[in-house]
Amino acid sequence: MKRELNPSETNSIDLYKILVSAVMPRPIAWVSTTSKDGVDNLAPFSFFNAVSVKPPILAFAPALKEHNGKPTEKDTLRNIRETGEFVVNVVSRDLVEKMNQTSFDYAPDESEFDAVGLTREPSRLVKPKRVAESPINFECRLYQIIDFGREVQSGSLILGEIVMTHLDERVFKNGKIDMAELNPVGRLGGLWYCGIGDRFELKRPAKKRENAE
Ligand SMILES: Cc1cc2nc3c(=O)[nH]c(=O)nc-3n(C[C@H](O)[C@H](O)[C@H](O)COP(=O)(O)O)c2cc1C
């Protein structure tokens, strides 16, 4: 027996809980932006993925939050609308605590880099700084924003074109990313996360080209 659930008859908190516990594990984009006043912002987003190679596009989705009783854009979305630039930093296992701390709702004039003690590293082609401690950084220029609504919990899909990639040689060896060395984390439902402890290889059906996705 499967229980039917119509999203239009389900409150958004229950729907959120179902979505984040069913669509998982999710990768985490640790997104740095700079406000038009020059404040360096940093926040994690697990509604995230790579969605195109040509052009190379990353996508993630901040939701509107409630502030003073009104739906309000998170700093990351506002900064990207205003500046058109961001950096996606990859979160390895050793960074997960600091990543979590940057999800606190700091005031727009307070930098998460300083609040949690992370090192700013200049980017090559965009203004937002990179997280020096993160092993992989993607400098992105805004490609498109798709707003799904104007209520609290409405998402805005931010698509960014990668214009520069930085790969730490500890994790990038012989043209490949060493999974064990990267030690990535995924987001599950509730307050749960996962590492890459239980992993396995699965051969694709025969006759596939070797480098096909
Ligand atoms: C692991 C993790 C994943 C998160 N994913 C999302 C997400 O996909 N969308 C979202 O709106 N908020 C997400 N959050 C909450 C934001 O990080 C949080 O609201 C943050 O304060 C936003 O920062 P900003 O206002 O500086 O943009 C996530 C938090 C954590 C810890």
pLDDT in tens, 26-66: 999 999 999 999 999 999 999 999 999 999 999 999 999 99
Dihedrals phi, psi of 148, to nearest 5 degrees = -90, -10
pLDDT of residue 207: 75
**b/e map of 121-138 (b: 16 or more CB within 10 Å)?**
bebeebbbbbbebbbbbb
Q: Which two tokens stand for residue 154?
A: 């409405």
Cβ atoms of 42 and 128 closer than 8 Å: no
Please compute the mean of the pLDDT values over residues 172-187 and round it to a whole number.
97
Q: Where are the domains of the chain?
A: 7-194
Structural fold of domain 7-194: Pnp Oxidase; Chain A (2.30.110)
Name which residue sits closest to atom 6 of ligand 1, judged by CA. 45
pLDDT for residue 208: 64
Per-residue burial over 98-118, b if 16 or more Cβ lie within 10 Å, else e, is bbebbeeebeeeebbbeebeb
Nearest to 61 by CA among 71, 72, 76: 76
CB atoms within 10 A of CB 56: 15
What global pTM score does this model have? 0.96
Instruction: For residues 92 and 195, give the distance between their C-alpha atoms in angstroms, rounded to a whole number.
Output: 9
What are the strands of the beta sheet with 136-147, ordered from one edge?
A: 40-45, 29-34, 85-90, 136-147, 156-167, 57-60, 48-52
Ligand 1 pocket mutation pick from 26, 45, 72 by most atoms within 8 angstroms of CB: 45
- Give, for ligand 1, the residue of 23, 60, 74 to mutate: max count of ligand atoms closer than 8 Å to Cβ: 74
Burial of 85 (0-12, 13-18, 19+ CB in 10 A): buried
Q: Kindly list the protein residues whose Cβ atom lies closer than 6 A to any atom of ligand 1.
A: 28, 41, 43-47, 61-63, 74-76, 100, 103, 105, 187
Q: What is the predicted pLDDT for the residue at 166?
A: 98
Dist. CA 67 → ligand 1 center (Å) = 15
- The two three-digit tokens of residue 37, written as one number: 């006043």
Q: CA torsion angle for 127, 138, 95, 60 (degrees, to 10)?
A: 100
Mean pLDDT of 129-150: 98
